[in-house]
Structure 1
Amino acid sequence: MSRPARPASATARRAPEAQVPGSSDGHGIADALVVRLVGAAPAGTDDAAERGVDPDVYRQVFRRHAAGVTVVTLEGVSGPVGFTATSVASLSLEPPLISLSVASTSSSWPALLVADTVVVHLLSDRQRDTAHRFATKGVDRFAPPTRWTRLPTGEPLLVDAEAWVRARLEHRVATGDHRLLVARVLQAHTGDDVTPLIYHDGRYGTFTESDTE
């Protein structure tokens, strides 16, 4: 009589992690994810869940996530380019890296594709108009009342920003319907300690410290 098969161990059931080769163009755009989990789905997995969440539910969940507001500027072929972004994050201290994501359909993407450097401005609560302006389509975002100049290295700089970093774009990775960008910080500036501008549930606001712990 044959022995019944033993159930697979937790280690055996875990999908292995593998490196997935992918080509890239001259600007570092990867056409495949660098790392992917491979292997069959665990027994009993709901097929509907494996197909992904409903887009509307996904948006509703992340509308609850408060994020700092920035304006990213760079030099384009025809002049300065800028846009409002809430996806900027500190990625690494050594080396100093930041990340941000941009929709593949963004009007700023062609400039980001070929740019060498960007300037990320961390907005304060008093710069809500700036955030609105750089998120509005079809306007000259650098026209008055926007006050800007150029750094000695040529990048456009918003002169009213109390905190900003200049960074070199090092990686551009295709991720779903967005592009993930990783940049190395070359220069950093901070001025007065001001209240930050925060985006939450489709609205701008700021942070108020609680008296209770």
Structure 2
Amino acid sequence: MALTPYSPDPQLLRTTFSYFPSGVVALAAEVDGAPEGLIASSFTVGVSLEPPLVVFSVQNTSTTWPVLKRAERIGISVLGETHGQTARQIAAKDKSTRFENLDLETTASGALFVHGSPVWLETKAYAEYPAGDHTLILLEVTALYADDAIAPLVFHGSAFKQLLKSA
């Protein structure tokens, strides 16, 4: 095995990073009466148990995060294995159709969740840290739900995949 010295080749780096499997989450809330949301595969749980913190990164060029972070509460839906098209829809450039015809639930505090997800986390903004061309966002968990009968959607090799079920 031979390592390739790093050079500023964003495509090679993106391809290499894509081989690390990750879950896919929708972060969403109602802001000023309208749904706002984005998709992240850079999501990590267990950052801290006291307080309960999760983290994701967002591109500095995002126009959604500056709006979404104004929400009282942000819903995080760990997308289920059948949500590949849902992830594409919420990630679409056309913000007007991101939530069209989706089965959603909104809490009294404005957190927005996608039905059919194995995990829901209601969160609030905790801290932000610059990280190159992205920003690390720490969110504090304020409420949670889990359904172990639903398998998560996985992002690996630049594609959505399902976990293999063992016999």
Instruction: State the TM bucket, normalised to the shorter chain.
Output: 0.7 to 0.9
Moved over 6 A (4+): none
Give me the whole-angstrom Cα distance separating, in 2, the residues matched to 1:174 and 1:194: 34
Give 1:199 shift: 0.7
In the TM superposition, what are the counterparts of 1:137-176 in structure 2 within 5 Å?
137-138=93-94, 139-144=96-101, 146-176=102-132
Give 1:113 shift: 4.3
Aligned to 2:85: 129
Give the match's secondary structure for 1:114: coil
Q: Kindly name which structure, 1 or 2, has the bigger radius of gyration based on alpha carbons.
A: 1
Change (3 A) 1:205 1:115: same
* TM-align CA RMSD: 2.1
Unaligned runs of 5+ in 1: 1-48
Change (3 A) 1:130 1:163: same
Per-residue CA distance 1:24-52 (angstroms, 9 max, x = gap): xxxxxxxxxxxxxxxxxxxxxxxxx7x96
Write the letter of the residue equivalent to 1:65: F
Aligned to 2:56: 100
Give the match's secondary structure for 1:107: coil
Of 158-167 and 109-118, the range deviating more from structure 2: 109-118
Give 1:161 shift: 2.6
Q: What percentage of aligned pairs have identical amino acids? A: 27
Per-residue CA distance 1:120-157 (angstroms, 9 max, x = gap): 1011111222111111111421221x122320222222
Give me the whole-angstrom Cα distance separating, in 2, the residues matched to 1:147 and 1:209: 26
Change (3 A) 1:114 1:64: same
Aligned to 2:158: 202
Change (3 A) 1:156 1:113: closer
- TM-score scaled by length of structure 2: 0.85
Identify the match of residue 38 of structure 2 among 37, 59, 83. Answer: 83
Decide whether the 8 Å contact of 1:67 with 1:86 is kept in 2: yes
Unaligned runs of 5+ in 2: none
2:59 is equivalent to residue 59 of structure 1? no
Change (3 A) 1:115 1:186: same
Write the letter of the residue equivalent to 1:74: A
Decide whether the 8 Å contact of 1:96 with 1:184 is kept in 2: yes
Give the match's secondary structure for 1:126: coil
2:70 is equivalent to residue 114 of structure 1? yes
Give me the whole-angstrom Cα distance separating, in 2, the residues matched to 1:109 and 1:199: 21
Decide whether the 8 Å contact of 1:77 with 1:111 is kept in 2: no
Give me the whole-angstrom Cα distance separating, in 2, the residues matched to 1:60 and 1:149: 35
Decide whether the 8 Å contact of 2:74 with 2:123 is kept in 1: yes
Give 1:54 shift: 3.1
Give the match's secondary structure for 2:28: strand
Decide whether the 8 Å contact of 2:119 with 2:147 is kept in 1: yes
Give me the whole-angstrom Cα distance separating, in 1, the residues matched to 2:165 and 2:99: 34
- TM-score scaled by length of structure 1: 0.68
